[in-house]
Amino acid sequence: MNPLQKIYLQALINQSHQESSQQVKQEEYSQKENVQYLQKQQLLQIIQQCQTQHQPTQQVSQYFKQSNSKSSTLIEVQNSVTSYFQKIILQKQTINLTNVLEVQLPYFMIIMSNLIIYGLENCQADKEIVADLVSSYKDNPLKISMSYSLFQTVALLFRSEVIIYDQSTKYLSNFLLFRDDFCDIFFKALYSYKISQGQAVSQQIGFTQIHQMIKKQQDEVWTTFTFNMLSQQQQQLTKDQFLLQFNKYTQSLNTFFTKSNLIMDLVAQSVKQTAKLHNDQIFQEYLLIMGSFKATTQEFLKKATQVFYEETQELDLLQFSSNTIKVHKQMNCQILFILPMLLQLESQYLEHIIKNGFSEMQLKNSSNYYLKMIEKLKSKCVYNGEEECNCKKCQCIRRNRNSAKESQKKKREALEKIGPLQDEFNKLQKKVKHLETENQYMTTLILEVFKHPSVEKIASQFLEPLTKIIADSESMEEC
Ligand SMILES: [Zn+2]
């Protein structure tokens, strides 16, 4: 396939994804009370996706099985865990987790690790291999990796709120990594190919990669993530692909900020409960990220496209990294890092809740302020009236811009017409002033003359018509 065909295919796939997700969303509205139905739908979707995704893998492993009779591979164990979890969702069971780990990890990763170990211990796979995996994962959970189907199913478990661990676990149902609109994005940007015992090749998302996204000890972690997200894990990022994927990225984030999300929900809740669960710093940061997204995205796109593709048709990771840092610095924003920043912020917020509990929080009312600001920003469209967006806000902005332009135009036209008239008017006024002084002078002079005794006699014959002439010229001046 040539790059153009690839982009076209990508667009087609995206569209069908969008259509199917829209369909799911409609069902969500009409059958809000029937959450179970939606879960089954999603589960069915996952199973279908997995079947198409893993066909080549199975063929590969089958091929190797003939020459090597060693029982289960990693992917087969994962498939077994996946179907065990799917059964739990279908049978409406719950999972009671206790912590079997002694390591320090972010809250959501502790629960994920325990969940995977729980799944391994309860699945139908080869006991020997499972025992090896469990002890290795207990020793270091960062060794855990998940296939596409396992990750999707784990995300669905969290969304379905069937995991019982502690009182904060419920917040994970809205956690960015597990959301149905974002888990795919994360998987596609973070997976790598894994060969287990030289037998099967599969796409795996590793706990190490997820952990690095949160810790971000090096800047490259986020640039690499973003590059992989935009290029869809290709070596090069073409301009067309960049424009296509950036637009998708903008739309996803737009939905994220407009609809319910972990931090937003807790801000709203904290106002209702008079500032319980309150954390200024996190709300502030959320507000900053949201504000920067709303205000600078379109400008950033113009600038980035220009800088990225100034001298080249496509970028590799290295060029992309240095250019991203350059544009971010120039524009004093972090548009391309918003997704990792939000993931990190949500994780921090969960840590904050775990550490401080619910009762120890100080009572402050300023969260009202954040809610107000967030609500205000929510209604601001990121496209800011650009032609490509047809939302009410943008239409309104465009209308206002057009009418402002129109009235400006009228003003200018009127001024242009007034211009020559004004000159004439000024000339006339000068003339009038001149005449006025002349008139006054003449009037005084004539009146003085008539006061003279020798002309006093004829004065009455001249005075009346003279006064009339003066009066006439005065009324003329007024025009
Ligand atoms: Zn808009």
Cα–Cα distance, 460 to 134 (Å, whole number): 131
- The domain segmentation of the chain, as residue ranges, is 25-215, 232-380, 388-412, 437-479
At 396, the amino acid letter reads C
Q: Which residues contact 211 (CB under 8 A, 6 or more apart)?
A: 105, 106, 109, 142
Residue 103, sorted as left (phi over 0), alpha (psi -120 to 50) or beta, turns out to be beta
Could you tell me the distance, in angstroms and rounded to a whole number, from the CA of residue 386 to the centre of ligand 1? Answer: 7
- What ipTM, to 2 d.p.? 0.96
CB 267 within 8 A of CB 367: yes
Could you tell me the distance, in angstroms and rounded to a whole number, from the CA of residue 328 to the centre of ligand 1? Answer: 23
Could you tell me the distance, in angstroms and rounded to a whole number, from the CA of residue 380 to the centre of ligand 1? Answer: 8
pLDDT truncated to tens, each residue of the chain (479 aa)? 555 555 555 655 565 555 555 555 554 555 455 555 666 677 777 766 655 554 444 444 444 444 343 445 888 899 999 999 999 999 989 999 999 999 999 999 999 999 999 999 999 988 999 999 999 999 999 999 999 999 999 999 999 999 999 989 999 999 999 999 999 999 999 999 887 665 668 899 999 999 999 999 888 999 999 999 999 999 999 999 999 999 999 999 999 998 899 988 887 776 655 444 456 778 888 988 998 898 889 899 999 999 999 989 999 999 999 999 999 999 989 999 999 999 999 999 999 888 876 543 444 555 567 777 888 888 788 887 888 788 888 888 889 888 888 888 888 888 777 777 788 888 888 988 888 888 787 777 767 766 666 666 666 666 666 566 556 555 444 34
Could you tell me the distance, in angstroms and rounded to a whole number, from the CA of residue 406 to the centre of ligand 1? Answer: 22
Cα–Cα distance, 422 to 414 (Å, whole number): 12
- Whose structure tokens read 């629960």? 111
Angle at which helices 392-451 and 456-478 pack, to 10 degrees? 170
Q: What is the dihedral of CA 92, 152, 44, 124, to 10 degrees?
A: -60
Cα–Cα distance, 190 to 203 (Å, whole number): 10
* No. of helices (H) and no. of strands (E), the chain: 17, 7
Could you tell me the distance, in angstroms and rounded to a whole number, from the CA of residue 44 to the centre of ligand 1? Answer: 34
Could you tell me the distance, in angstroms and rounded to a whole number, from the CA of residue 254 to the centre of ligand 1? Answer: 10
Residue 211: CA atoms inside 13 Å, Cβ hemisphere, count? Answer: 18
Could you tell me the distance, in angstroms and rounded to a whole number, from the CA of residue 297 to the centre of ligand 1? Answer: 12
H helix or E strand, kind and range, residue 436:
helix 392-451
Could you tell me the distance, in angstroms and rounded to a whole number, from the CA of residue 266 to the centre of ligand 1? Answer: 26
Could you tell me the distance, in angstroms and rounded to a whole number, from the CA of residue 397 to the centre of ligand 1? Answer: 9
Could you tell me the distance, in angstroms and rounded to a whole number, from the CA of residue 244 to the centre of ligand 1? Answer: 17
CB atoms within 10 A of CB 340: 23
pLDDT at 79 (0 to 100): 93
Could you tell me the distance, in angstroms and rounded to a whole number, from the CA of residue 358 to the centre of ligand 1? Answer: 38
Cα–Cα distance, 12 to 82 (Å, whole number): 29
Per the structure block, which two tokens stand in for 158? Answer: 């969290």
Could you tell me the distance, in angstroms and rounded to a whole number, from the CA of residue 98 to the centre of ligand 1? Answer: 46
H helix or E strand, kind and range, residue 205:
strand 200-206
Cα–Cα distance, 143 to 189 (Å, whole number): 19
Could you tell me the distance, in angstroms and rounded to a whole number, from the CA of residue 54 to the centre of ligand 1? Answer: 39
Per the structure block, which two tokens stand in for 7? Answer: 């982009």
Could you tell me the distance, in angstroms and rounded to a whole number, from the CA of residue 333 to the centre of ligand 1? Answer: 21
